[in-house]
Amino acid sequence: MNLPGPEDYIDIHTHDGAVTDPGIFTVISLMAHEGKQPVNIKSVAYTFGIHPWFLTESAHNSQIAAVIKAAADPSVIAVGEAGFDRLKGPSPDLQRRTFEEQMSVAEEHNKPVVIHCVRAWDELLKAHKRLKPSKPWMVHGFRGNKDLAAQLISKNMFLSFWFDFIIRPEATELIKSLPAERIFLETDGSGVDIKDIYRKVSTDLEVTVDKLKEIIYKNFIEYFNLKIINHGVTRGFTE
Would you tell me which residues interact with Zn ion (CB under 5 A)?
188
- C-beta closer to Zn ion: residue 188 or 204: 188
User: For the chain, how many helices (H) and strands (E)?
Assistant: 8, 10
CB of 81 to Zn ion, least distance (A): 6
Shortest distance in whole angstroms from residue 132 CB to Zn ion: 26
Q: Is the peptide bond before 81 cis (omega within 30 degrees of 0)?
A: yes
Give the residue ranges of DSSP H helices in the chain: 60-71, 92-108, 121-131, 146-153, 163-166, 171-177, 194-205, 209-223
> Least CB distance from residue 239 to Zn ion, whole Å?
26
3-state DSSP assignment of residue 75:
coil
Q: What's the first-to-final CA gap in the chain, in angstroms? A: 9
Chain residue at closest Cβ approach to Zn ion = 188
Pairing between strand 228-230 and 183-185?
A: unpaired
Distance CA 60, CA 220 (A): 31
Q: Which residue, 11 or 188, is less far from Zn ion as judged by CB?
A: 188
Nearer to Zn ion, 8 or 188 (CB): 188
Residue 208 beta carbon to Zn ion: minimum distance, rounded to whole angstroms: 28
How many C-beta atoms surround the C-beta of residue 195 within 10 A?
A: 14
Question: Of the candidates 134, 129, 73, 65, which has an alpha carbon nearest to the alpha carbon of residue 101?
Answer: 65
Whichever of 31 and 71 has its CB closer to Zn ion, that residue is 31
Nearest approach, Cβ of 12 to Zn ion (angstroms)? 10
Minimum distance, C-beta of residue 232 to Zn ion, in the bound complex (Å): 29
Rank residues 187 and 234 by Cβ distance to Zn ion and give the closer one.
Answer: 187
Residue closer to Zn ion (CB basis): 123 or 188: 188
- Amino acid sitting at position 173: E
